[in-house]
Structure 1
Amino acid sequence: MPSETKSINRVKVRINGEDYYVRGRVPVEYIKKVANYVDRKMCDLSQNYPDLSRTRIAVLAALNITDELLRLKQEYEEFLTTFDDESEG
């Protein structure tokens, strides 16, 4: 994650066809990158499940993104454990 800035950036982003204003103490490019990732996940789900409501699409996207995050965290922890074991031995 990029380092925080002193000022609060406000950015207009579009996610699943709706505009949102997002504020944060990170660079504008990072906010756009995060929003774009969420948008792609939601759009993919909307195409695969056109009958689902926006709310259900958002919940499924949140579950899928959280699954990705938890899997990556587990892989990273396993990597660190392996790296520590190899550096000690």
Structure 2
Amino acid sequence: MADEKTQVTVDIFGIEYPIKGDADPEYIREVARYVDSKMRQVSRSGSVGSTIKVAVAAALNLTDELFKERAEKQNLISEMNERVTKLVRMLDKELDEYMKKTASRAERGEIRKANN
């Protein structure tokens, strides 16, 4: 029962497809609706004719979206890494200054004790 796959029938561009997968059936339907909407969008543009050409154009558009999202994600990760690095440097500097002040106070305390 652990390897049990869910089968869902979805309609993409007027054709029904039985889809088996581990994902939630509603998620599979949502993905199929998105693919269908992209194919219909390409079809409405009138620039391609056959279903195969519509599917390829939709696949290219979807891949373009994916690549742009990945690039945006990578940019955000890089920006966050830069911010974290800057914060760590600031904390290190503050900690170093604190340690120097603490050491200086301790030295002054030791000198006072020695003089008394």
RMSD: 1.5
CA distance in 2 between partners of 1:50 and 1:80 (Å): 37
The yes-or-no answer on 1:81 pairing with 2:94 is no
1:80 Cα deviation after fit: 0.2
Q: Which has the higher contact order (CA 8 A, sep 6+)?
A: 1
Richer in helix (by share): 2
Q: TM-score, normalised to structure 2's length?
A: 0.69
State percent identity of aligned pairs. 34
Give the count of matched residue pairs.
85
Name stretches of at least 5 consecutive residues in structure 1 with no aligned partner. Answer: none
Q: Which residue of 2 aligns with 1:58?
A: 55
Q: TM-score, normalised to structure 1's length?
A: 0.89
3-state DSSP of counterpart to 1:52: coil
Name stretches of at least 5 consecutive residues in structure 2 with no aligned partner. Answer: 87-116
Structure possessing the higher radius of gyration over alpha carbons: 2
Runs of 4 or more consecutive aligned structure 1 residues displaced over 6 Å after TM superposition? none
1:60 Cα deviation after fit: 0.2
Q: Which residue of 1 aligns with 2:35?
A: 38
